[in-house]
Amino acid sequence: MRKLLLVFASVCSLMAVAQQERSNWQTVLQETMSIEDVEGNLAEDTYDYLERMAEHPLELNHATREQLEQLPFLSAQQVMDIQEYLDRYGPMRSMGELRMIRSLDYPQLSLLPYFTYVGDQQDTIRFPKWKNVARYGKHKLTATVRIPFYERKGDRQGYLGSPYRHSLRYEFTYGDFVRLGLSGFQDAGEPFLANRNRWGYDTYTYSFQINKLGPLQTAVVGKYKLSAGMGLVLNNSFSLGKLMALQNMGRTPRQIRPHNTRSVADYFQGVASTVSLSKKISLTAFLSYRPLDATLNNDSSVRTVVTTGYHRTETEMGKKHNTYRTSAGGTLMYRESGFHIGANLVRTHQDRELIPDSSVRYKRYYPKGNDFLNASADYGYTSHLLSFSGETAVDGNGHLATINALSISPYSTVRLMALQRFYSYRYTSLHAHSFSEGGRVQNESGVYVGGSWQATRRLLLSAYADFAYFPWLRYRVSAASTGQDYLAEATYKMNSHWILKGRYRLHRKEQDDSLKSGLMRLHEHRSRLSLSYSDDDRLASRTQIDFAVTEGTRTDRGCMLSQQIDWRHDWLQLGGMAGWFETDSYASRVYVYERQFPGDFSFPVYFGRGMRLSLWARAGIANAWQLNVRLGYTHYYDRESVGSGLQETGGSSMTDMDLQLHYKF
């Protein structure tokens, strides 16, 4: 029986490899994202996190539970099922054996080949000798530049630097044990080797990480990301929205990882480590001291922490590193037989007092002061039938936040989930990010229910409904308000070449009526239909149409039709995207994924009437070199200039070129 399973698994493995060759995980990712995810603060960090995991995939046969839990699209039950399969049948011989694990459905089976692999069947893997690390480690140098073929108003007068966006990255790795990284980033318009950037780039990231050194699970020195529990106290590492929650059943990855992106919104700077005190108990501790951009009040206190990272003008440069923040804390975790319980503590001090603008009523309960304290307990239990997880937190003033999720799988083809959260409008945390409708771990309570059903071997159905209540004022909402979010999605594998996918989303929310006092109900309808093709060899194609309708004081409509094609042959890859869009306003905006370079992030949002064209090429040269080229062109039919303020261009078209060069040695 085992031999028959392996023969079947080998055939499935070849199919999985072919799928991996003809597609890319970025396309799979964008299918799980909404407008809110694309425009969120952690979108770039989420992309970078998955990209790093794709570059350094896990070896399945020797992956620990903690390593498998770093894969954000796996539920706690699926992690447990993979480990139990390995314990029962021994090491996997091919990736196709994953199809023998019944809890893994189409999304997980599509993504796993990008982030895991089956390697040599070794008995043990130990931390290498340092001389071997220095001798056999791998180096990678990456240079990227964006050249605009247009001129912004700020390029003529206003911006302090050149119109070119560029970056330089160096990375040293030895397997999964050692990583050293140093990167410099420059946005268009920022000064280079001038003004307050006399050391060159506007933003630098640096980190040194080691893993699996005896009881030391991981340690990072430099800039890093950190998450614990379900994000009520600590999470600046990873975030995907409500559709991904159906795949991972509400689980938040616990991890320490290097910070690699140009984003300045959320990161720590200092040292962090996780140590195994025993087989059941682990301890995570961190210490951070970092600068922040800020707008100051007249008394030199901080009015607003600025997270854009732009330093193109004298005004923006004047906000750079205006305050410093010290953070320290840790997590103590106990695990046994599917059960876990943890305690989390974070203390933060800011050298300048945080005093938001009290004249704006919705900011009345925003964080204020110099010192902040948050503590929480997170807990959970996982079995083959159900999984439960939650976290309950308090801030330094005793205000409460809690989130709890329950998922069950009554049949191998059915997965159901319910999630409840309550975030007091007085609860504050500087490092929290968790499941929410309003985008903040504050001023929200709600219930989310969802499920997926593998109706047939070819058809997967998914749906969710989310109900939220906001007891205090919010931006553009001057009273208590509600929100509702519904989504239904179907994926149909027509045959080995064609996949048809459809999605509909209804988002209901309330905001102030500009024409009369009181709240008005906004209805946002979004739908997507896509047809994907691959010939299991060189060619992949995706045709997609998106619709958006918003109903409020008026009805706005938008749509976008796009076509993407990828082709590869040996050392050369070519691709392109063509799209036509027409929307009545920004409210009915649309977006579509566009192939990006490694280390870059972009999910462009389009509104108005126009077209978008993009061509890209990737060429491998002598094994060590790789050249990427991308040419983008956007033309608008409804305007004579693009952008506003210093970003305004003098024409209705924008053309830019991206160049990237990799060197591995």
Residue 32 scores a pLDDT above 70: no
Poorest-confidence range of 32-36, 376-380, 519-523, 570-574? Answer: 32-36
Q: What is the C-alpha separation between 168 and 145, in angstroms, rounded? A: 9
Q: What is the C-alpha separation between 447 and 421, in angstroms, rounded? A: 7
Type and span of the H or E element at 107? helix 106-115
Whose structure tokens read 């553009």? 476
* DSSP structural state of residue 479: S
Give the angle 12-408-87 at the CA atoms, nearest 5°: 50
Residue 22 scores a pLDDT above 50: no
Confidence of residue 68 (pLDDT cuts 50, 70, 90): confident
Residue 562 scores a pLDDT above 80: yes
Closest CA to 287 of 209, 214, 345: 345
359: Cβ–Cβ under 8 A, 6 or more apart, which residues? none
Tell whether pTM > 0.75: yes
Using the Cα atoms of residue 586, residue 240, residue 616 and residue 628 in order, give the sign of their dihedral: positive
Q: What is the C-alpha separation between 9 and 550, in angstroms, rounded? A: 47
> Is-contact 266 318, C-beta < 8 A?
no
Region for 177 from its dihedrals, namely left if φ exceeds 0, alpha if ψ lies in -120 to 50, beta otherwise? alpha
State both tokens at 612: 């978008």
**CB-neighbour burial class of residue 2 (10 A; exposed 0-12, middle 13-18, buried 19+):** exposed
Residue count of the chain: 665
Closest CA to 629 of 593, 576, 564: 576
Beta bridge partners of 219: 210, 273
Closest CA to 55 of 246, 215, 258, 213: 258
> Is-contact 215 413, C-beta < 8 A?
no
Mean pLDDT within 3-32: 46
Alpha carbon distances (Å) from 82 to 86, 98, 414, 587, 600: 6, 8, 18, 43, 32
For residue 380, the model assigns a pLDDT of 92
Beta bridge partners of 180: 172, 208
Half-sphere exposure of 482 (CA within 13 A, CB side): 8
Q: Per-residue pLDDT tens for 598-632? A: 767 677 889 999 999 999 999 998 889 999 999 99
Mean pLDDT within 286-302: 96
Residue 560 scores a pLDDT above 90: yes
Residue 234: CB atoms within 10 Å: 29
Confidence of residue 537 (pLDDT cuts 50, 70, 90): low
Mean pLDDT within 172-192: 94
Beta bridge partners of 607: none
Residue 275: CB atoms within 10 Å: 16
- 394-406 CB burial, b ≥16 within 10 A, e <16: bbeeebebbbbbb
Q: What is the C-alpha separation between 25 and 52, in angstroms, rounded? A: 12
Q: Per-residue pLDDT tens for 112-121? A: 888 888 876 5
Residue 214: CB atoms within 10 Å: 9
Whose structure tokens read 């923040």? 325
* DSSP structural state of residue 392: E
> Is-contact 242 466, C-beta < 8 A?
yes
| Most confidently predicted of 76-90, 197-211, 525-539 | 197-211
Beta pairing class for 203-213 and 178-186: antiparallel
Whose structure tokens read 């997967």? 460
Type and span of the H or E element at 530? strand 519-534
> Is-contact 301 356, C-beta < 8 A?
no
**CB-neighbour burial class of residue 22 (10 A; exposed 0-12, middle 13-18, buried 19+):** buried
Whose structure tokens read 């990427």? 628
Locate the DSSP E strands across 298-368: 302-306, 323-336, 339-354
Residue 14: CB atoms within 10 Å: 14
Alpha carbon distances (Å) from 54 to 25, 113, 565: 8, 9, 22
For residue 104, the model assigns a pLDDT of 81
For residue 80, the model assigns a pLDDT of 83
Poorest-confidence range of 25-34, 225-234, 566-575, 615-624? Answer: 25-34
State both tokens at 103: 């809890």
Confidence of residue 40 (pLDDT cuts 50, 70, 90): low
Confidence of residue 28 (pLDDT cuts 50, 70, 90): low
Beta bridge partners of 526: 505, 548
